Chain A
């Protein structure tokens, strides 16, 4: 701070010679940097308290010997790795089921969202943003309410199958609700926009000239698509996978509302162990496993595309 006063910009008395334009610049830069840290501080602190510390605490909780509530608050930290082995051995099939459901749903999501995002991005013209808006509009309605509506649609006498059954086109015992199909359909529906958004952003910024160039070099439309459009949209596909697969694996609303006894997902177990059984340590361990899996995927993403990629940022 012992340098040229940075406040010279404020009031300059008449007749005082102005400093050369660059004189205060270095001091200004230093002040700017200090200001940057100062502006950063509140948000950073909040992220620490509201995000980093909770994650540390859940890892800590996952290594305590017994549940916080079940022992009247006498949980002891003891590197109790058995929580993990117990949790994984008890619920391994449910983890696998969650991964399978989420995997299928993610694949369908991308399969459905890609052609749609592609058409809007390349042929939407001036209606582009309006069309894309139409995709997002339904999501102004709460997640829970939308999921509950599928009960009415897929229900045994519901909107979809009720009429078909009345006309004898389906047998009366036919049902979709409470089956894996209903859960996967629900997840697909709920996470489709999360796939569509990054795909659209990635496809939208592809330079059409590149596709034209490909065609000028005698690429057929399908080759041009495979060799130009598809590779350029990889960041979008990857972002779509993260934004769909990760939350879908941990989702439990769809499984509760649309599923049955045979469709339990890991989210249900975690929620149940935390909120109803109060088995905190084991629930924390299950949650940490989920987080670790997510972390691996996120790290791969960050390594490949960086954390500042606009594709995810836009989503």
Chain B
């Protein structure tokens, strides 16, 4: 190669002509991706289809069968027919919204501060948040249970903590905070600091600066964090299963019922929640699209 460099006329080897791949191999990856998307969606499809399954009546309670017989809308019209399921759903919603709300407030401050200040203990805080996300749910669940039991046994505050709604709520907030914090942190760290300085140069006090400049800019991060917390709470099984006592949320009830075969209303409710999730996600995407196109 060194001789070629010193020569007056450098003759380069023929550059490879980059023609788009014409061979059949170029279809491998797209087809593979498509297959994967179908694979991932398949159980959801099964869930939806089985919500229309005709179930041979055996006794008073209907239980889902492996055999699929088309089709009935009876489970959809009888969507409220299983009282325990209704109750579990109410508990799920009753936990998800307040916990997501509290976690969003606490997590937003954490994320915001982590993104914009250097302070003593910042590395530690980051590491704890990282741990809270990486820790296996079973470890967190069992630890929380150990804490509640320990509180009940040694009574340092003079009262015991009965397992149930409140322990579920407190535990959910505990794991949601970290997720909200990183979502907000990601949004806030991309923020242009000079916008706030500009506001302050225009004599806005810190509070006005926060509400008129900072807050609107990080709002998409906060909303995303809230939705994430909501979904995590609605979906959580492992931690809830440790701290719920005899109170059931939707996932723990389905888990318990699945041992005997779950009623078809589970498929119906699963489909309903799925649809709501899709609608919210699409709305969120559209909203951010519109915002970014405005900017």
Please report A residues at the B interface, Cβ cutoff 8 Å: 7, 9-10, 12, 21, 28, 31-33, 35-37, 39-40, 42-44, 46-47, 49-55, 57-58, 60-61, 68-69, 73, 75, 112, 115-116, 118-120, 123, 129, 131, 133-135, 137-138, 140-146, 148-153, 155-159, 162, 189, 192-193, 215, 218, 242-243, 246-247, 249-253, 257, 267, 270-271, 274-275, 280, 283-284, 287, 290-291, 294-295, 297-298, 301-302, 307-308, 310, 312-314
Contacts and interface: CB of A to CB of B under 8 A. Distances in A.
A218 B231 CA distance: 48
Given A137-B281, A313-B186, A287 B46 contact: no
Given A54-B144, A141-B44, A46 B173 contact: yes
Nearest to A36: B117
Closest 8 CB pairs of A and B: A50-B174, A140-B277, A250-B136, A54-B143, A149-B43, A43-B110, A119-B29, A43-B106
Which secondary structure dominates where chain B touches chain A? helix
A4 B106 CA distance: 32
B76 interface: no
Nearest to A221: B21
Contact of A149 (B46, B119, B200, B241): B46
B67 A290 contact: no
Nearest to A137: B278
23 contacts: A42-B105, A43-B109, A44-B110, A46-B106, A51-B128, A51-B131, A54-B147, A55-B143, A123-B29, A131-B37, A135-B40, A141-B274, A141-B277, A146-B43, A153-B42, A155-B66, A246-B135, A267-B238, A270-B142, A271-B138, A291-B136, A294-B135, A307-B126
A36 B149 CA distance: 35
A145 B132 contact: no
Contact of B46 (A119, A153, A162, A280): A153
**Interface residues of A, dominant DSSP:** helix
B204 to A, nearest CB: 7
Nearest to B44: A138
Contacts of A123: 29-30
Contacts of B134: 242-243, 246, 294, 297-298, 301
Given A61-B146, A307-B127, A142 B254 contact: yes
B234 A215 contact: no
Nearest to B277: A140
B165 interface: no
Given A12-B203, A157-B67, A274 B277 contact: no
A60 B254 CA distance: 33
Interface in B1-28: 13, 15-16, 18
B85 interface: no
A144 B251 contact: yes
B291 interface: no
B44 A58 contact: no
A290 B182 CA distance: 24
A141 B271 CA distance: 8
B205 to A, nearest CB: 5
A135 B130 contact: no
A274 B258 contact: no
Nearest to B254: A144
B136 A159 contact: no
A314 B190 CA distance: 13
B294 interface: no
Contacts of B270: 141-142, 145
Contacts of A50: 144, 170-171, 173-175, 177
Contacts of B36: 112, 116, 135
B251 A57 contact: no
A9 B203 contact: yes
B137 interface: yes
A47 B128 contact: yes
Interface string B173-203: 1110110011001100000000000001101
A268 B235 CA distance: 19
B142 A133 contact: no
Given A21-B201, A54-B146, A143-B235, A294 B136 contact: yes
Given A50-B177, A215-B18, A308-B126, A153 B200 contact: no
Contacts of B30: 119, 123
B41 interface: yes
Nearest to B117: A36
A6 B275 CA distance: 51
A58 B242 CA distance: 13
A141 B205 contact: no
B218 to A, nearest CB: 13
